């Protein structure tokens, strides 16, 4: 896929403009969005991603478009998983609902910046060292196993990291959020930080950890930096509205982590197999290609990703419904 500098510039300008509109809306009127408002925005961003994929199909063919859609779906599902942690952070720090939009948007911007850096570093490594795919694949398989074992994080599992603990000790932090800014005036007239700063540190460090999973995952689907970047951007845009749209539904997606573990494990195995097929590492098969290792086609990757997400979602909703009925029966008795 040959992407000119002009296409990169146009893409960055258009996506930046959409994000700027989002910023202006929140900056003008911080509020908790309604279900209708959230639904409109989420639908808009999903439609934008689907239309972009059609454009890729027209200009570069079905295979490349399939890589974009598979990458976008993977990153989108991982981003939804991020929302579980965001919910815990918001609850742990008791962030007022009207300020949560701003926190989420800044968190998404931080995620975009961090992922942009990781994408650039990953693309540079892959172009120079083919053996990086072995590392990416092994890391994804390791992550998938841990995710399958541990399941979804809950409030009891969340622990403040060393950066937050240091910030609490080193900075003067108020007990309330005031007007939703990062600083406020204390009773002694001195400026001090609000808990919003600690929340942003928590969100930012969480974004960094999740970027370590998401970037190898999408490089396992496509090694085109343009597709990697745009898939990440489209997956993160609209995440703020999705947070309010899903609401309590997040707690019902009990098998999402297992589904993501399967997807990450599949991509990890795919990466290792492709690394073996293109092998040039001296101590593996004498530096020769491994003939039995197949290249997994993009249609199969897309089928596995979509199928796993559908099964995990349906199974989660069925289990949650059954659990709710059992609780009602228990309450009646």
Give me the mean pLDDT over the 283-292 stretch. 78
Q: Residue 143 — pLDDT band, cuts 50, 70, 90?
A: confident
Rounded to two decimals, the pTM is: 0.80
Largest Cα separation within the chain, whole Å, is 74
- Of residues 191 and 49, the one with the higher pLDDT is 49
Q: Collapsing DSSP states into helix, strand and coil, what is residue 33?
A: coil
Q: Are 232 and 19 in contact (CB under 8 A)?
A: no
Q: Give ∠ CA 186-197-204 in degrees, rounded to 5.
A: 175
Mean pLDDT is lowest, of 16-20, 155-159, 210-214, 252-256, for 155-159
Write down the mean pLDDT value for the chain. Answer: 81
Instruction: Spell out the domain ranges in the chain.
Output: 5-332
Taking only the tens place, the pLDDT of each residue in 84-116 is 778 778 878 888 877 787 777 777 777 778 888
Query: What does the pLDDT read at residue 163?
Result: 80
Write out pLDDT tens, residues 171-193: 888 878 777 778 877 777 778 88
Alpha-carbon gap, residue 224 to 254, rounded angstroms: 33
Q: Which two tokens stand for residue 43?
A: 């639908």
What's the first-to-final CA gap in the chain, in angstroms? 64
* Residue 311: closest CA among 251, 259, 257, 267: 259
Task: Kindly state the percentage of the chain with pLDDT values over 70.
Answer: 90
Residue bearing the bigger pLDDT, 294 or 49: 49
Give CA–CA dist 11/156, Å, rounded.
42
Cα–Cα distance for residue pair 206/198, rounded to 1 Å: 12
The 10s digit of each residue's pLDDT in 191-238 is: 888 888 888 888 888 777 777 777 888 888 888 888 988 998 888 887
Please give the average per-residue pLDDT across 114-119, as a whole number. Answer: 80
Contact in structure between 263 and 77 (CB atoms under 8 Å): yes
Residue 57 has pLDDT above 90, yes or no: yes
Residue whose C-alpha is closest to residue 238's, from 119, 115, 101, 85: 101
Query: What pLDDT shows up at residue 58?
Result: 93
């Amino acid at each position: 896929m040959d992407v000119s500098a002009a296409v990169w510039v146009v893409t960055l300008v258009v996506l930046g403009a959409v994000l700027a509109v989002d910023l202006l809306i929140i900056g003008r009127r911080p509020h908790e969005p309604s279900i209708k408002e959230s639904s409109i925005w989420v639908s808009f961003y999903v439609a934008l991603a689907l239309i972009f994929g059609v454009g890729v199909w027209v200009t570069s063919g079905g295979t490349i478009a399939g890589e974009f859609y598979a990458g976008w779906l993977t990153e989108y599902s991982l981003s939804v998983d991020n929302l579980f942690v965001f919910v815990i952070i918001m609850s742990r720090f008791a962030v007022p609902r009207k300020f949560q939009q701003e926190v989420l948007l800044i968190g998404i911007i931080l995620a975009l910046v961090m992922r942009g850096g990781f994408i650039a570093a990953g693309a540079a490594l892959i172009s120079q060292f083919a053996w990086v795919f072995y590392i990416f694949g092994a890391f994804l398989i390791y992550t998938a196993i841990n995710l399958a074992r541990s399941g979804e994080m809950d409030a009891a599992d969340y622990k403040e990291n060393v950066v937050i603990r240091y910030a609490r000790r080193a900075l003067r932090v108020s007990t309330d959020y005031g007007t939703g800014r990062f600083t406020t005036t204390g009773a002694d007239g001195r400026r001090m930080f609000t808990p919003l700063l600690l929340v942003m540190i928590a969100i930012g460090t969480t974004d960094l950890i999740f970027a370590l999973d998401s970037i190898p995952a999408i490089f396992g689907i496509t090694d085109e930096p343009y597709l990697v970047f745009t898939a990440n951007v489209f997956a993160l845009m609209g995440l703020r509205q999705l947070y309010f749209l899903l609401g309590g539904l997040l707690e019902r997606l009990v098998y999402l982590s297992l589904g993501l573990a399967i997807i990450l494990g599949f991509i990890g195995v795919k990466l290792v197999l492709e690394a073996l097929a293109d092998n040039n590492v001296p101590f593996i098969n004498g530096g020769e290609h491994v003939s039995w290792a197949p290249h997994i086609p993009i249609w199969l990757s897309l089928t596995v990703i979509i199928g796993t997400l559908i099964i995990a979602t349906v199974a989660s909703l069925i289990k949650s419904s059954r659990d709710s009925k059992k609780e009602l029966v228990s309450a009646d008795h």
